[in-house]
Amino acid sequence: ASAQDQNPEQFDFVVVANRLPVDRVVNDDGEASWKRSPGGLVTALAPVMTAADGAWVGWHGAPDETVEPFEHDGIQIVPVELSEREVNHYYEGFSNSTLWPLYHDVIVTPEYHRAWWDSYRRVNQRFADATAAVAAEGATVWVQDYQLQLVPKMLRAARPDLRIGFFNHIPFPPVEIFAQLPWRHRVLEGLLGADLIGFQRASDASNFMGAVRRILGFTIRGQQVHVQDEEGKLTHISRAEAHPISIDAQAVAKMANDPKVQARAKEIRRGLGNPDVVLLGVDRLDYTKGIGHRLKAFDELLEDGRLEVGGAALVQVASPSRERVEKYKELRDEIELTVGRINGQHDTMSHTAVRYLHHSYPFEEMVALYLASDVMLITALRDGMNLVAKEFVAAHVDSRGALILSEFAGAADQLKHALLVNPHDIDALKERIIEAVRMPTTEAQRRMRIMRRQISTNDVNRWSRRFLKSLSADPAESAHRTEN
Ligand code: G6P
């Protein structure tokens, strides 16, 4: 309560996420200001935040730096500070070298260090305290993602009056994998502090409930758990549901209809030497994305002579990510070595096999790139959702193009008219690429139209509305609602 007294300003709707919805930009005169971050979550929540007098609690991205709360675009920004050691232990360590690989089916081996866990706990407590201090009586709080799984329970302990939602943006693994985590009880209990726990896929929600049953020994009825305190008194009912996230489909389509963006798309194709087919990969440079598998399939198709440099080009945008984490450094070396080899082998004086770009680009340029491409390659080995798949579809206002989509991405549950593939099966991946390249226009358009309808109906706005509606509902009633 003391923190509440110090800060009289209180909010009815509070989002809590590892990252703030704003990025610092420094102009030519060295002056710093804040700009809204790109990305779906901010876009989705901005209208809700403005309408509901909202605050956003998060880290500003720089170690050892205190930033005072401020308002931006009608959103109250509440910065949480992390020390250099915490960035190392909580963010790069426990979040991204323990939980991230564990939750993505141990594609790389998770590391378990007690010092990381201590830091994770402490930082989660700091986020919970900061949230408790700015949340008004009876406010709705929406906690985001795997970096903050202990916050729901910590927050409920401090503020039982709050409605607490949690959304996990990444997969939740089967119990056989989750059970490796030395602090598995604590994480499950942390999450169960929420009234509603949202997941990308129905299978993630049932993996979570399976873990709650097997590890905590709780009884589950219709995806609900009766959570009790130490004395065995019922505190609340916690529910797990699937709420697949989406994109602002209208904004993407609007951008794709802009003549400047369309001209830019043509220019991109010219820049590649006007090949017949442009294949595209767009990912954070992450080992979950299966970039190596995709390169291998493309390389073999060139080797076999089924594709030819000049006729086909692969553009791979790999945006820099978590660059101080060891596995990410190794991955970068590996991918760049492979790209170098493929290009050394197959490039001609006038054309390149793989145009590799280790950059992030503004939204406009991405939409132009989607439009410029014929075949999108999503080969994730495991992915919570994969919004790139949805963006590619939404950008194709001409209904041209083919989407190759890994079965292991959450998006595959919804985009059933994509060319679905198991990316581990290199031969199948090669066949899918050839199928995409040769697909008759009418067939490609038929598939694209169905997928476009899916995404424009289920956009990000609907995602947040549906989650928040369920969060505010009485658990007894929501048990009878059907999933869509
Ligand atoms: C994934 C996670 C997000 C995370 C993003 C970027 O989408 O679900 O929580 O913010 O990757 O990663 P970073 O570590 O840079 O925040």
**295 pLDDT above the threshold of 70:** yes
CA of 265 to the centre of ligand 1 (A): 28
Give the gyration radius of the chain's Cα atoms.
23
Cα–Cα distance measured from residue 116 to residue 122, given in angstroms and rounded to the nearest whole number: 10
- Cα–Cα distance measured from residue 452 to residue 38, given in angstroms and rounded to the nearest whole number: 22
| Residue 6 pLDDT greater than 60, yes or no | no
More confident residue, 47 or 94: 94
- For the cut 90, the answer to whether the pLDDT of residue 240 exceeds it is yes
The pLDDT of residue 425 is above 80: yes
Judged against a pLDDT cut of 60, whether residue 478 lies above it is answered with no
> 104, 169, 243, 396: which is the annotated catalytic residue?
169
> Does residue 40 carry a pLDDT above 80?
no
DSSP run (H or E) holding 390: helix 387-395
Is 185 among the catalytic positions? Answer: no
Q: What is the rounded distance in angstroms from the CA atom of residue 111 to the CA atom of residue 123? A: 19
Between the CA of 234 and the centroid of ligand 1 the distance, in Å, is 35
* Ligand 1 neighbourhood includes 169 CB (under 6 angstroms): yes
Alpha helices, DSSP H only, in 281-375? 291-303, 326-346, 363-372
CA of 20 to the centre of ligand 1 (A): 11
- pLDDT score for 230: 86
Q: Are 161 and 240 spatial neighbours (Cβ–Cβ below 8 Å)?
A: no
Residue of 104, 123, 145, 286 with the most ligand 1 atoms within 8 Å of its CB, for mutation: 145
What proportions of the chain, in percent to the nearest 5, are helix, strand and coil? Answer: 45, 20, 30
17 Cβ inside 6 Å of ligand 1: no
| Residue carrying the six token digits 């209904």 | 399
Shortest-distance Cα residue to atom 7 of ligand 1: 169
pLDDT of 482 over the 90 cut: no
- pLDDT tens digits, one per residue of 130-189: 999 999 999 999 999 999 999 999 999 999 999 999 999 999 999 999 999 999 999 999
pLDDT digits (tens, 9 = 90+) for 64-113: 999 999 999 889 999 999 999 999 999 999 999 999 999 999 999 999 99
Q: What is the pLDDT of residues 426-458, one digit of tens each?
A: 999 999 999 999 999 999 999 999 999 999 999
Chain centroid to CA 447: 25
The string of pLDDT tens digits covering residues 376-424 is 999 999 999 999 999 999 999 999 999 999 999 999 999 999 999 999 9
The answer to whether the CB of 145 is under 6 A from ligand 1 is: yes
In testing the pocket of ligand 1, which one of 143, 149, 151, 321 has its CB within 8 Å of the most ligand atoms?
Answer: 321
Catalytic residue among 195, 374, 383, 459: 383
- Mean pLDDT, the chain, as a whole number? 95
Q: What is the pLDDT of residues 19-28, one digit of tens each?
A: 999 999 988 9
According to the model, what pLDDT value does residue 484 have?
Answer: 38
Quote the pLDDT of residue 345: 98
Average pLDDT over residues 247-265: 97
Transcribe 456-476 into DSSP letters.
HHS-HHHHHHHHHHHHHS-HH
383 catalytic per annotation: yes
What is the percent of the chain where pLDDT is above 90?
89
Determine the pLDDT at residue 45: 86
Q: Is the ipTM of this complex over 0.95?
A: yes
Distance 57 CA to ligand 1 centre (A): 16
Q: Which atom of ligand 1 is nearest to the CA of 144?
A: 9
Distance CA 273, CA 351 (A): 7
Task: Report the alpha-carbon distance of residue 199 to residue 330 in Å, rounded.
Answer: 30
Q: Which atom of ligand 1 is nearest to the CA of 169?
A: 8
Percentage of the chain lying above the pLDDT 70 cut = 96
What number does the ligand 1 atom closest to the CA of 17 have? 9
Q: Is the CB of 286 under 6 A from ligand 1?
A: no
Task: Report residue 106 as tokens.
Answer: 């141990």
* 104 CB near ligand 1 (under 6 Å): no
Which mutation among 41, 283, 284 tests ligand 1's pocket best, with the greatest number of atoms within 8 A of CB? Answer: 284
